Amino acid sequence: MLEFEILKKHRYSDARLGRITTSHGAIETPAFMPVGTQGTVKAMTPEDLIASGSEIILGNTYHLYLRPGHELIKSLGGLHRFMNWPRPILTDSGGFQVFSLNALARVTEEGVKFKSHLDGSMHFFSPERAMAVQQALGSDIMMTLDEPAPHDADHATALKSMNLSTRWARRCRAVHSPGDQALFGIVQGGMFEDLRTQHVQEIGDFGFEGYAIGGLSVGEEKATLLRIARHTAPLLPAERPRYLMGVGTPGDLLALSSMGIDMFDCVMPSRNARNGSLFTSEGKVNIRNARFRDDPQPLDVHCPCPVCRNYSRAYLRHLFLADEILGLHLNTLHNITFYQHWMANIRQAIREDKPFDFIGVESFRLEKDGG
Amino acid sequence: MLEFEILKKHRYSDARLGRITTSHGAIETPAFMPVGTQGTVKAMTPEDLIASGSEIILGNTYHLYLRPGHELIKSLGGLHRFMNWPRPILTDSGGFQVFSLNALARVTEEGVKFKSHLDGSMHFFSPERAMAVQQALGSDIMMTLDEPAPHDADHATALKSMNLSTRWARRCRAVHSPGDQALFGIVQGGMFEDLRTQHVQEIGDFGFEGYAIGGLSVGEEKATLLRIARHTAPLLPAERPRYLMGVGTPGDLLALSSMGIDMFDCVMPSRNARNGSLFTSEGKVNIRNARFRDDPQPLDVHCPCPVCRNYSRAYLRHLFLADEILGLHLNTLHNITFYQHWMANIRQAIREDKPFDFIGVESFRLEKDGG
């Protein structure tokens, strides 16, 4: 079960304020989904995630399939119960990790054969298998299995992957039984506008509950990502949620929201946090920096998170340099809260028909880092 | 400022129910102090510690002196504010780490010269210096600098260390100005009853606000530890808190409480947690064990902690095997809560004049592991 309402359109952009309703609760859009790779958003409890303002998280099917195994998770009541996360979960199909963690993954019409990065054992994902695994996990939103083309794929290669992705999307749709779990399709077509247009035409009438733009943030220039997103977003069914996978910086989320994208996921806030790279309304800072040595100030006076209310930059720097687990936790809590606060500002600007000019926007609009 | 009231004596043992009052709040005794080595109890937020029932933590002067430095902490408002811990803190003198982390530490009458384990730089701690560092940290309870004898020291060696410790204790007392920070003396004397008796006579009238039994849990047999503690505890001033340093298992804490010890600290619950070794009312378990693979039960049905309320053994095992930070966090939260719940049971038994026969006691009474 998945419902999507558009509550308001933005006066100053193509952004939409919306609400997705699932059987595990509602999600205000545009929404950012923290990534919970192995059945946990790294260094966060579910309570932390709720406090951060997160309403939905992403689970990685590839990782959970390999360890602890989807059947095990199913036998323990599904992923929500396993990880004690009561709110919505979106699972990817596993395809992206199959390809990105397996240089030698072998694709046939039937599916993709790959080696476990954990123990080298051989595995096979077909569209049907990817669906079955996600059904066992019990996510609220499942994704179709697709074959993303490399960012530098030529037109013929991108076309071939796209056509395979269409056939796989049809097979996923065929085995999808309507029920609690919604299914989103993924638009491919590489960095080529004509292919993106063609792919939307091919899968747009498969009746997916939502549509994702895939195959971006895979190594291309930031300008290319924005060009393809800007081209593709308005082609997607307007009455369905639009999801851009694997992006990005706060500036990216703002730019892409303004194009009418409703959902995002990215490891950036959590991974950066564990490297000491923290988001603030004045841009990214590295907490290792010697200038923070005796700095009693909070990381970001505009941030509502408990880290910025209770700890100094000097303390965060100390924890990081001393390799303390608490440092990884506090950094992650801050970054994810920063992202969610940023999304809340985007939603508020849409609701109140204000331009996207809130605190910190200049710092991130200029950012080059898309990784 | 430190006050100690004995609220009740136990009918079935020498245990005392007490209350220590400091300017950062009160502590019910017998009390267990989690160890916050580097300005954080590893993997715990202050909120977690409070939820666990912890009323006081221990800070390691040696580590904080080296990194980030006591002067830095002082400039940021002291250790309580630095780490956002509003409740009482006890700091050790730094001596124990100086000796245990520096095989080549050089002791003279004046003090001890040692190398930083971080960068090899040379440092010097005298009794006066150890006091100054603890004053900068702003702990509620400071400890005198002493020289612990090795667990296998002969009588002459133990006597020599003890006599030096007496002179150092006198020097600490001389520079201690009454105020917010209390000072505890430490009884040494190795594994020799006559020396322990003699040392209590020597420092017992220095007027310390509390007395610790030091030089135990340094490699001796469990029976030796209990023998020396049982001999020494009743010699200590009855109207002052008695603190046994660096101990131990839940069974140890029960046995030592029954001898009239009021305070304990140990890295065991937190360190074990990070190794997957978890305390339950049926004894210690290792969460890696394959029998937990698909076990939907909580770790310990008798434990009040959020981990036991919300997560399965299978999930904890998964997190541990997947090297997830959340696993270290949940394991630590469980173990520390388990310890605090254990202490609460001890206090309740004293209050209600019941024998020490609560759930799990048999599992730990038999335990051999003193580390």
A147-159 pLDDT tens trace: 989 999 999 999 9
C-beta of residue A213 within 8 angstroms of C-beta of residue A245: yes
Q: Are residues A105 and A220 in the same domain?
A: yes
Contact A329/B293, CB-based, under 8 Å? no
Contact B72/A314, CB-based, under 8 Å? yes
Instruction: Please tell me the number of Cα atoms within 13 Å of A346 on its side-chain side.
Output: 32
B93-135 pLDDT tens trace: 999 999 988 888 999 999 999 999 999 999 999 999 999 999 9
User: Which candidate from A43, A293, A315 shows the least CB-CB separation from B83?
Assistant: A315
What would the two tokens of residue A144 be? 């179709």
A205: domain CATH number?
3.20.20.105
Q: Provide the chain B residues 9-48 that lie in CB contact (below 8 A) with chain A.
A: 38-40, 42-46
What would the two tokens of residue A173 be? 């749709």
Which of B38, B41, B318 is the best substitution to test chain A (most A C-beta atoms within 10 A)?
B318
What would the two tokens of residue B318 be? 């998964």
**Quick one: pLDDT at residue A169?**
98
Contact A293/B325, CB-based, under 8 Å? no
In a domain, B371, yes or no: no
**Domain around B308:** 276-365
Q: Are residues A184 and A301 in the same domain?
A: no
Question: What's the whole-number average pLDDT of chain B?
Answer: 96
Q: Residue A216 and residue A227: Cα distance in Å, rounded?
A: 11
In a domain, B175, yes or no: yes
Q: What average pLDDT does range A214-219 have in this prediction? A: 95
Q: What average pLDDT does range A36-53 have in this prediction? A: 98
Give residue for tokens 């009021």: B262
> In the predicted model, is pLDDT for residue A366 greater than 60?
no
Q: Are residues A241 and A299 in the same domain?
A: no
CB-CB neighbors (< 8 A) of A68 in chain B: 293, 314, 317-318, 321
**Quick one: pLDDT at residue A371?**
37
Identity of the amino acid at A181:
Q
CB contacts < 8 Å between A and B, how many?
Answer: 103
Contact B82/A314, CB-based, under 8 Å? yes
Give residue for tokens 């053994």: B313
Q: Are residues B86 and B109 in the same domain?
A: yes
Q: Are residues B318 and B306 in the same domain?
A: yes
Alpha helix stretches (DSSP H) within chain A: 46-51, 61-66, 70-75, 79-83, 95-100, 127-137, 155-175, 193-203, 222-232, 250-257, 268-274, 306-310, 313-321, 325-351, 361-365
Q: Are residues B191 and B281 in the same domain?
A: no
Task: Determine whether B160 is exposed, middle or buried from the number of CB atoms within 10 Å of its CB (0-12, 13-18, 19+).
Answer: middle
C-beta of residue B111 within 8 angstroms of C-beta of residue B144: no
B241-261 pLDDT tens trace: 999 999 999 999 999 999 999
Q: What average pLDDT does range A92-101 have in this prediction? A: 93
Q: Are residues A353 and A239 in the same domain?
A: no
**Quick one: pLDDT at residue A324?**
98
ipTM over 0.95: yes
Q: Are residues B69 and B140 in the same domain?
A: yes
3-state DSSP: chain A helix, strand, coil percent, rounded to 5?
40, 20, 40
Q: Are residues A119 and A66 in the same domain?
A: yes
In a domain, B253, yes or no: yes
**A85 interfacial to chain B (CB closer than 8 Å):** no
Length of chain B: 371
In a domain, A35, yes or no: no
**B86 interfacial to chain A (CB closer than 8 Å):** no
Domain boundary among A223, A247, A266: A266
In a domain, B370, yes or no: no
In a domain, A69, yes or no: yes
Could you tell me which of A249, A364, A336, A354 has the C-alpha nearest to residue A15?
A354
Contact B77/A296, CB-based, under 8 Å? yes
Chain B: closest CA distance from residue A247 (Å): 23
CB-CB neighbors (< 8 A) of A67 in chain B: 318, 321-322
**Quick one: pLDDT at residue A349?**
97
Task: Determine whether A179 is exposed, middle or buried from the number of CB atoms within 10 Å of its CB (0-12, 13-18, 19+).
Answer: exposed
φ/ψ region of B360 (left if φ > 0, alpha if ψ in -120 to 50, else beta) reads left
Percent of chain A with pLDDT over 70: 98
Q: Are residues B256 and B296 in the same domain?
A: no
Q: Residue A13 and residue B169: Cα distance in Å, rounded?
A: 73
What would the two tokens of residue A344 be? 């809340």
In a domain, B112, yes or no: yes
Chain A: closest CA distance from residue B316 (Å): 9
Please state the domain count of chain B.
2
> In the predicted model, is pLDDT for residue A370 greater than 60?
no
Which of B288, B317, B326 is the best substitution to test chain A (most A C-beta atoms within 10 A)?
B326
Q: How many CB atoms lie within 10 A of CB B156?
A: 8
Q: What average pLDDT does range A310-328 have in this prediction? A: 98
Q: Is the peptide bond before A178 cis (omega within 30 degrees of 0)?
A: no
Could you tell me which of B106, B109, B229 has the C-alpha nearest to residue B166?
B109
**B290 interfacial to chain A (CB closer than 8 Å):** no
Percent of chain B with pLDDT over 70: 98
Q: Are residues A284 and A166 in the same domain?
A: no
C-beta of residue A201 within 8 angstroms of C-beta of residue A174: no
CB-CB neighbors (< 8 A) of B318 in chain A: 38-39, 67-68, 82
Give residue for tokens 């206090």: B347
User: Which candidate from B42, B75, B322 shows the least CB-CB separation from A325?
Assistant: B42
Q: How many CB atoms lie within 10 A of CB A271?
A: 15
Q: Are residues B234 and B347 in the same domain?
A: no
User: Which candidate from A44, A84, A318 shows the least CB-CB separation from B310?
Assistant: A84
Chain A: closest CA distance from residue B84 (Å): 6
Question: What's the whole-number average pLDDT of chain A?
Answer: 96
What would the two tokens of residue B232 be? 């020494």
Q: Residue B370 and residue B360: Cα distance in Å, rounded?
A: 17
Contact A44/B326, CB-based, under 8 Å? yes
User: Which candidate from A68, A318, A321 shows the least CB-CB separation from B318?
Assistant: A68
Q: Residue A194 and residue A116: Cα distance in Å, rounded?
A: 35
A55-91 pLDDT tens trace: 999 999 999 999 999 999 999 999 999 999 999 999 9
C-beta of residue B91 within 8 angstroms of C-beta of residue B55: no
Q: What average pLDDT does range A330-353 have in this prediction? A: 97
What are the distances in angstroms from CA B70 to CA B136, B137, B180, B210? 6, 6, 18, 24
Domain boundary among B232, B254, B272: B272
What would the two tokens of residue A63 be? 């990782």
Percent of chain B with pLDDT over 90: 92
| pLDDT-based confidence at residue B370 (cuts at 50, 70, 90) | very low
User: Which candidate from B82, B325, B330 shows the least CB-CB separation from A315?
Assistant: B82
Domain boundary among A217, A239, A266: A266
Alpha helix stretches (DSSP H) within B186-248: 193-203, 222-232
A267-279 pLDDT tens trace: 999 999 999 999 9
C-beta of residue B30 within 8 angstroms of C-beta of residue B343: yes
**Quick one: pLDDT at residue B363?**
82
In a domain, A113, yes or no: yes
Compute chain A's Rg from CA coordinates.
20
| pLDDT-based confidence at residue A367 (cuts at 50, 70, 90) | low
B163-211 pLDDT tens trace: 999 999 999 999 999 888 999 999 999 999 999 999 999 999 999 999 9
